[in-house]
Amino acid sequence: MDESCTVYQAADFIGRRWTALILLELYKGESMTRRYSELKKRIPGITPKMLSMRLRELEREGLVKKTVDASEFPVKSSYSLTKSGKDFIKIIKVLKNWALTWKLDNKLCKNAECGKCPADNL
């Protein structure tokens, strides 16, 4: 599992700050799509720069598709999950499941929506 290994890359990927968060936000959007500014609003604390960077990475890796609507006046960008991106969500599900099973201090998530967590409805 050196750096050329896709499994390693995927693991590295999911561990980066904001990545999972962005994917989950897209997942929750209508037809799994969100605009840049929507994402910014819904992910508190992320800097615009980070958001662009992560989106570019996700696009490069094929998890996210970007669409630019240039017909309108301030040009608007939309990002949506590809099939591969949608499938990636299930990794997060398994992760959450593991956490719920073994991290007992995490009961909150099981019984109620903790409200802060974008993985609530997984």
Partner DNA sequence: TACACTGTACAGCTTTCATCCATGGTATCT
Partner DNA sequence: AGATACCATGGATGAAAGCTGTACAGTGTA
Contact in structure between 96 and 87 (CB atoms under 8 Å): no
Part in contact with DNA (CB under 7 A); list of ranges 22-30, 67-75, 89-97, 110-118: 67-75
x/- map, 14-43, DNA, by CB under 7 A: --xxx----------------xxxx-x---
Site size toward DNA, by CB under 7 A: 26
Report how far apart, in Å, the C-alpha atoms of 33 and of each of 8, 76, 90 are.
Answer: 28, 13, 17
x/- map, 68-97, DNA, by CB under 7 A: x----xxxxx--------------------
User: At closest approach, how far in Å is the CB of 20 from a second copy?
Assistant: 5
Report how far apart, in Å, the C-alpha atoms of 11 and of each of 20, 32, 72 are.
Answer: 11, 23, 39
Q: Using the rule CB under 8 A, which residue among 6, 31, 111, 121 binds a second copy? A: 6
User: At closest approach, how far in Å is the CB of 2 from DNA?
Assistant: 10
> How is residue 27 written in tokens?
């997942």
x/- map, 69-98, a second copy, by CB under 8 A: --------------xx--xx-xxx-xxx-x
Output the 3-class SS for 16-63: CCCHHHHHHHHHHCHHHEEEHHHHHHHCCCCCHHHHHHHHHHHHHCCC
